[in-house]
Amino acid sequence: MNKDLLVNKFEAIYVASQEKLRFFFAPGRVNIIGDHIDYNGGKVLPVAISLGTTAIVRLRKDNIVQMSSTETKGKVRVDLDKEIAYDKRAGWGNYPMGVLHFLKATDMPIFGADVLFTSTLPIGAGLSSSASLEVLTGFTFMTLAGKEVDRLALAMLCQQVENDFIGVQCGIMDQFAVAMGKKGQAMFLDCSTLDFEYVPFQTGDYQLLIMDTNSPRELAGSEYNDRRLQCLEAVGVINSKRPIEYLCQATFSEIEELIEDSNVQSRARHVVWENQYVHEAKEELEDGDLKAFGECLDASHLSLANDYEVSCYELDVLVDAARSFPDCLGARMTGAGFGGCAIALVHKDAVEKIKTYVGGRYEAATKMEARFYVCDVVDGVHEV
């Protein structure tokens, strides 16, 4: 949404004041490869994308924070002098409320403010709309307090919001990517140590195409937590023979020999394979071998679909259709799964053709319309 329009909307919602308006932006993220291994001490390779969330903010003279969104009606009101607790009725407002809750526990001053959020991210489509909103809120209030933002600490605080306020036991990947993103670079992050390096995301004549199933991810929260428990179970079994901290440290023979439950065994197999694919993909990307890089994407999707069982019919239709197109080097679901988005690496000249082709196949198979996005790889959260 353009700035003037946003200012008009803001002025229509909030009482006028002399304080100046400030703007902040947080990107969404696409994980190129490495799904469901951030919470297993694995490596991931996300990028921050140009679709994201914007906040327009103005300080108040009291200790009240009012928040609204261009996507929904109504205001969320927080009294900073009172305990901030999860409130089902607040819906999306719980994400920024959770951030304020945990910021209060630090020694940082939080000032009252009026805030209007707007988003170009499809909400709940697996492009980290919630991490974007959390990190944006944290960065905004830290900046308003005149603080130099420690981006890693911010990402960790926002992960805590998901874990302990929202109740999704997610890993660190999304909040990290939104906070630490860099223009033109992917982040190769070791989730067991939080060591990371930037890897140029150079795909030559090829382009990342995001394909959105446009189908709700209702199971995402509960199934996600179930997968996490199964991984913990696998760690427990292996620990009875050899101490490991994270499932990514297990070997294939340990998984085959020690884990009896076939579901738990498949989950563990995915985790260890996926971690290897990330290493391979990073090397192929650095060597400019895009064909081999695309093959890693394909292999990762199969592992997520067959062993981790977090894909779904809609995602598989998109991925299979993209893959059957000659100018596509590879495709996979991205993020938590159970709906949401997939990505494909496609020749720049073929983007429009592939959209029509995949879109047609998708509609025929699902009676739904897929959405497509082509994004730039951008910097993490910042003031604009």
Among 299, 336, 375, 378, binds ligand GLA (CB under 6 A): 336
Q: Which residue is nearest to ligand GLA (CB)?
A: 170
The total number of residues shown for the chain amounts to: 384
Q: How far apart are CA 378 and CA 4, in angstroms?
A: 23
Nearest to 183 by CA among 381, 380, 350, 382: 380
- The residue (of 66 and 334) whose beta carbon lies closer to ligand GLA is 334
Where does this chain touch ligand GLA (CB under 6 A) — which range of 169-177, 235-243, 258-266, 341-349?
A: 169-177
Q: How far apart are CA 77 and CA 224, in angstroms?
A: 30
268 three-class SS: helix
- The residue (of 68 and 132) whose beta carbon lies closer to ligand GLA is 132
Residue recorded with tokens 């805030």: 115
Among 28, 98, 330, 335, binds ligand GLA (CB under 6 A): 335
Q: How far apart are CA 135 and CA 173, in angstroms?
A: 12
Among 98, 122, 171, 339, binds ligand GLA (CB under 6 A): 171
Nearest to 303 by CA among 340, 259, 346, 333: 333
175 three-class SS: helix
Nearest approach, Cβ of 171 to ligand GLA (angstroms)?
3
Residue 244 near residue 250 (C-beta atoms within 8 A): yes
- Give the active site residue among 35, 38, 114, 174: 174
Nearest approach, Cβ of 6 to ligand GLA (angstroms)?
28
Question: What phi and psi, each to the nearest 5 degrees, are found at residue 118?
Answer: -145, 150
338 binding ligand GLA? (CB under 6 A): no
Where does this chain touch ligand GLA (CB under 6 A) — which range of 114-122, 138-146, 166-174, 210-218?
A: 166-174
Nearest approach, Cβ of 177 to ligand GLA (angstroms)?
9
Nearest approach, Cβ of 70 to ligand GLA (angstroms)?
24
Q: Considering only residues 232-251, where is the footprint of ligand GLA by CB under 6 A?
A: none
- Return the bridge partners of 346, or none: 207, 328
24 binding ligand GLA? (CB under 6 A): no
Q: How far apart are CA 339 and CA 217, in angstroms?
A: 5
Residue 309 near residue 334 (C-beta atoms within 8 A): no
170 binding ligand GLA? (CB under 6 A): yes
Verify whether residue 376 is a known catalytic residue: no
36 binding ligand GLA? (CB under 6 A): yes
Tell me the catalytic residues: 174
**Using CB under 6 A as the criterion, which residues of the chain lie in contact with ligand GLA when the complex forms?**
31, 35-36, 38-39, 170-171, 173-174, 335-336
